[in-house]
Structure 1
Amino acid sequence: MMTLPLSPRVRMQANPQSEGHNPVMLREVLALLQIHSRGTYLDGTFGGGGYTRAMMAEAPAHLFALDKDPDAITRGQALQDHFAVNDRRAAPTFEIRQGNFRDMATLFADVAPFDGIVLDLGVSSFQIDQAERGFSFRQDGPLDMRMSQSGQSAADLVNQADEATLADIIYHYGEERLARRVARAIVAARQEEPIHRTGQLAAIIRKVVHPDRSRIDPATRTFQAIRIAVNDELTDLERVLETAPGLLREGGRLVVVTFHSLEDRLVKRALQAAAGRVARPSRHMPVTLAEPTNMYRLPHGKPLTPSEDEIQQNPRARSAKIRVLEKTRHIIEPLEGTL
């Protein structure tokens, strides 16, 4: 397992927990981005701003952030205003913009190329902790789950989709083996009364899915599935993975933090494809380059994972993985093994 040092400046100046957000694998993300004072960097999933604040403390670089959640934009605007007024270091800048990261090529056409882009996938701690946002099965709140706070809500999906559609969503996006049973229970329950609260939905799921050895709440996988469907997360991820590498400067890096197997598989395949590596039909066959004049490389042959200490301090890090892609104009020799 790889452990990377956290600079004293980050430890002293960027305490994410004091802002109500504890970013996962912060040490590794900062080390991989290799932030320097002349660089331009993008936090493509601002959320609580934990990575951005730490990046600010690391070096007086030019920093940009992006998020589609209006609440995150409000937090980022406050940071932007504070930074502009109070920070007097040499030539730093910070700006946050609102939008879907799938559109970052358009949203930052006037800024690119970047020396580093970081994407922290999934739901943010702020969204989970605010019951009124409807992401959590541990707190009762309106069944919403919309990251952008617009469009179809989770309640709309749960109350309107037919049983087969619900089962497909829960099975494919939640990897819930009892998806048909859960879908059937949801349809039966909504015939009695509409499902408008997270507590209602969680109770329905727990009646038909019982705890197993993993100790994960029985509602976890279904809530994940509905959230992914409501926000079209995997489609957005596929699109940003197609465009983000092209926004990097030579030597720039795309750093992606994943939290479940669905998104991690997409990231793994996309970065392998960008680096010109092809999937092996057999584990006994060597990895090959698709083109000898590849423009990208994989700095690490395997994903980085959190230390046991971090998992104890921040349980959200338990399933996290980091994958990284670097842009280069040199011919790259293939790495042994796969990401």
Structure 2
Amino acid sequence: MTGSISSLGAATTDADGRFEVDGLEPGRLVLDVEHVDYAPAKLEALLEEDAPTDELTIRLGQGGTLRGTVRDDSGRPAEMRSVGVIEGGGFVPRDELVRTDEAGEYRVERMRPGSYRVVLYPDPSSGNAMEMRQKSATIRENEETIVDFDNEARIAFEGLLTRGGRPVGDVTVMLVPTDAGGLMRTRTATVDLSGRFEVGLNRPGAYNVVVQDLARGRGTLVGQTRIEVPDEPHVSQEIALQSGTIAGTVFDADGQPITGAVVSAVLSDGGPGDFGSRTGAGVEADGSFRIEGAGDGTYALSAVADGYQVATRSVTISGSSTVDGIDFRLEIAGV
């Protein structure tokens, strides 16, 4: 058995189970105890200056077991999915993850009794880095706790993306439930050239629809809107993207166009898909810029160019409106 006290010292027990750590400063210490055949233990101790130290007795138990099954959208066992167990806050280091076997099952033994979060990490093959799910679990001594992740979709959703009556294709669409924790249940699909896509959804209700063109850069916003999905086994909907426009100019202090400047817009007011959705446009030779496909909401605008100070503005889009006359005058950096 090995014990460490707040990373200040460590010791290994002898044949009688005894250990000793010298050179510790007075104060409250945390003793972590680990043994390959037992569940980890944690104990707090108070060391007072010039006071005799009582001998600590630590009793190790077998702990509890956590197990479960992970299934994909079709209800089949999901092999090689990563599952992490978190005690308290924070994230699980990658080397502490367990993976599901060919039956979609995972198992964690000798867990210290207590409350945990069990996290199912994204499936790399899905292309959806945001599809992380988590559940709560209570581990008890000598008991087995089962936590399953059943991703079988209740609703087969077929969508057609359009803008102004024309299909929007060759993009990525994300459907984000609007309720609490919806971001963890985001579903992502690739839209074909005809604007069509299919995705499995776990529940009906309101969804934020965010469309991005990953070929133009990670997070480049194409459009967004909100839809209502009925509680039916098969749903087919046309999704008409909002088409607000932000336009203006970027000049230097002398009124000359700044070649190579970029204007970005970040949705910042809690509108559809508000988790850092970003779009932008380059500035033309005459100093003009035009950002299309903006949905309802307030956007934080920033104009950036090499050698100049960043300038910011705020603008609100409603419906398919066009907001123009957004003019930036950039000052030389360091002035």
Shorter-chain TM-score bucket reads: under 0.3
Choose between structure 1 and 2 for higher RCO, CA contacts under 8 A separated by at least 6 residues: 1
The normalised TM-score by structure 1 is 0.23
Over alpha carbons, which structure has the higher Rg?
2
